[in-house]
Structure formats: structure tokens, C-alpha cells
Amino acid sequence: MIDIKFLRENPEIVKENIRKKFQDSKLGLVDEVIELDVAKRKTQQEADDLKAQRNVISKQIGALMAQGKKEEAEEVKAQVAANAKRLEELDAKQKDLEEQILKIMMTIPNIIDPSVPIGKDDTENVEVTKYGEPVVPDFEIPYHTEIMEKVKGIDLDAARDVAGNGFYYLMGDIARLHSAVISYARDFMIDRGFTYCVPPFMIRSNVVTGVMSFAEMDAMMYKIEGEDLYLIGTSEHSMIGKFINKLVPEEELPQTLTSYSPCFRKEKGAHGIEERGVYRIHQFEKQEMIVVCKPEDSMMWFEKMWQNTVDLFRSLDIPVRTLECCSGDLADLKVKSFDVEAWSPRQKKYFEVGSCSNLGDAQARRLKIRVNAKDGKYFPHTLNNTVVAPPRMLIAFLENNLQEDGSIRIPEVLRPYMGGKEVIR
């Protein structure tokens, strides 16, 4: 969420940012919120004047009563009563104006970083760097669910009977591999100085609206009926929410946390043939990382965070590349974002396995997270990044480690988490 003071003083910059994100339908919101802000400040000024006047009049009443001028005192009291009624009206008006302003401000997109490429959608994202050599083997690579089924590692039919489409049973060595990847990712991030955390898997609505846009909320979140609780779509939500309404001492920055959680997503919309199986599902598990830091350090942490994901995938012998998200592909709260994509030998192309985002002070402003520094208080920057989400990551893992005889090679770094097993047969 943009600072209202910045919007008030730089309306054209805000409008140009909206144009860069190809959201021209929101241009009128800038002028609308400025008008509401003027009305709110005018209302506030009138209320402040009346309160100051009330203090003066209260002293007059005391003086008149002391002089025995009861009639004059009663007249002044009548004025106090009239002012009180007007103050009540002004307070209600101001509250209504503040709610209108907040609703609009939460739909105006954050100011993107100048380095972000301009483009309408994800087809115009820009490749940054490739890591590892993409290989297409001489033998045919089956679809990932076929690989799993051959080693009795998945049961989609039973899951469909129990929960419907978008769910799965992982079995045997594939289930163990799934857990091994999560455990390895946890230790990988701990070794890089992040504090491990298991967060709440449900959050209240004020946290939801603090960490994401309304559009994302509607498309992703499952609501718990009859309660002010939502199932998390990613542990970033509850991890950033951990700091809601907190005044963090500056010396405690940066906060670097890595978290495990299940994730729950509606995944609305039609999905293509490549998204069957475990590619796009309603329930999965993930290792995440978040950082809360000084504004001047956020871009440095952004670079470190996506590099962590690249390094983890390379340690598992999976070729990856990074893509910079263009302006039109950035969610409204994001300042800058990279996608990490893994190589699919079967499709002969890369596909997304993680996303790293810098949200500036947008989440901190919404959640009222502030930093207490020697020279005053300020909003910190927040960042998040996927370490690994095994269901989708398993696709890349299986395809890149499948051998011609149908066995699956286990990279050396994972073997301690697989009981020393080197191959799944």
C-alpha cells in the first residue's frame, strides 16, 4: 500500500505506475482518493477547532459560575452541547472517509522498481540467467505420474474418491523422497543463517488483507465457515503476520526466517494438460523463506534469496533459470519479482518452481509493522521466496534423475535423508 502522503504529493507518478502495470481502469482512483483525503483533512481540521473551542468555553463556564452569572453560563453550556453534537457528526464522517480511502488505497498498485521490465503479462517476462546444462536424454521420459506409478509412489484414484480432483496420495519411496526434499531444504536454509519456524496454518482476515491484494485473496484462500480464519496459501502469510502491530527494535533487523507448512489453494480456472497430476493442486507442502529488513538492504536480500533457491536446485543436479517478472505480471503489492524455473527434459522447456518477491514497505504499512530506530520510527521492507515446493519440484527431480532402466537416481546430498538409498527402483 502506497503512503497517502506520497500519493498526495506525486499523483502523476502514481498514475504512470498504474499505466506501466496496464491497469488503466484504476487511474480514476487516484483523483478520487485525493478528493476524499481533502474532505477528511477538512473534517479533521473542523473537529480540532471545535475541540480547542470546547476547552476555551469550559474555562469560561467556570469563570461565569464563579461570578454568579448563571444565565450567561447556561447559554455557553448550550453552545458546548451544540459543539458536542457537531463533533459526533464529524467523527462519524471522518471514520467513513478513512474507510473509503483505505479501501481505495489497498487497490492502487505499489510503485514498481525502476529496473522492472515493462510488459503486459507473463509472456513478456525476461530471462536473466541459466544455471546448469539442460539435457534431453536419448530415451523417452514418461509423464511424472507414470514415473511415480511405476514405483507404486502415487494413488490419484483413491485421492479423487476421498477428496476430489487436485489431491493425491504419495506412497512408499516417493513419499519418503517428498519428505527428504523438505528436510534437506530446511537444513540448507538453516546452514545459510535462517531461523527455522513452523507457523500457524490458519490466519485471521486482517492478516490476509495485510499480506495480499483482494484479487489474490479471492483466487487463492479457503475460508473456514463460521470463523474469522483462512487456511494459508503459503507460510509467508503467517510468517509476515507474526510481526503484525509490532514495534521492532532496529538492532533486531534483519529478521531472516525459513518455515515449513502445508499450503491450501483454490487454484481457480481451467488448467492445461501439463497441469494434471501434481503440478497444480489444492494441497501441498513447502519450505519458504522471508526477510524483514531495513529499506536500504532489501535489494541486497532480494538477490541473496533467489540465489538460495538456485543453489538448492543445482545441489540436486537440476538445471534452472531465473526470469524477471515484467510490470504487468507483478501482483499489486510487489516492487520486484523473479521466478525460478526448472528444466523439464520431457517438455524440453523450463517451468516455474518458485518465486522471489520484494514487497517494499507495502505489507508492513498494511500490518502496522514498524521499526524503532534512534532517529525515529519507520516501516521495514518485507521479502519472501520459495525454497522448495516438493510436488512441483518432484516433477523436475524425477525427470532430471530418471535413468534409462526406469530407476530414479538419488543425488548424494539427499541420500542421508533417504536412509542411504542411492536409487529408487
| Nearest residue to 363 (alpha-carbon basis) of 387, 385, 383 | 383
pLDDT band at 228 (very low <50, low <70, confident <90, very high): very high
Contacts of 298 (CB under 8 A, 6+ apart): 291, 358, 360, 381, 383
- Residues 306 and 338: beta-carbon distance below 8 Å: yes
- For 184, counting Cβ atoms within 10 Å of its Cβ (0-12 exposed, 13-18 middle, 19+ buried), the class is buried
Mutual angle of helices 27-66 and 11-20, in 10-degree steps: 150
Q: What is the pLDDT of residues 322-379, one digit of tens each?
A: 999 999 999 999 999 999 999 999 999 999 999 999 999 999 999 999 999 999 999 9
Q: What is the pLDDT of residues 32-70, one digit of tens each?
A: 999 999 999 999 998 888 888 776 776 666 666 666 666
How far apart CA 290 and CA 358 sit, in angstroms, is: 10
pLDDT at position 50: 83
For residue 42, the tally of other CB atoms under 10 A from its CB is 14
- Residues 132 and 319: beta-carbon distance below 8 Å: yes
Q: What is the mean pLDDT of residues 384-405?
A: 94
Q: What is the pLDDT of residues 92-146, one digit of tens each?
A: 999 999 999 999 999 999 999 999 999 999 999 999 999 999 999 999 999 999 9
Q: Is the pLDDT of residue 274 over 60?
A: no
| Nearest residue to 335 (alpha-carbon basis) of 314, 361, 308, 353 | 361
pLDDT band at 313 (very low <50, low <70, confident <90, very high): very high
Q: Which of 3-17, 75-89, 140-154, 222-236 has the lowest mean pLDDT?
A: 75-89
| Nearest residue to 109 (alpha-carbon basis) of 345, 331, 354 | 331
How far apart CA 28 and CA 25 sit, in angstroms, is: 7
Report the sign of the C-alpha dihedral through residues 110, 114, 120, 122, in that order. Answer: negative
pLDDT at position 63: 65
Q: Domains in the chain, ordered, with CATH?
A: 4-105 (1.10.287.40), 122-424 (3.30.930.10)
**One-letter amino acid of 87:** L
- Residues 340 and 322: beta-carbon distance below 8 Å: yes
- For the full predicted model, state whether its pTM sits above 0.85: yes
pLDDT band at 215 (very low <50, low <70, confident <90, very high): confident
pLDDT band at 273 (very low <50, low <70, confident <90, very high): very low
- Residues 232 and 264: beta-carbon distance below 8 Å: yes
Q: What is the mean pLDDT of residues 157-178?
A: 93
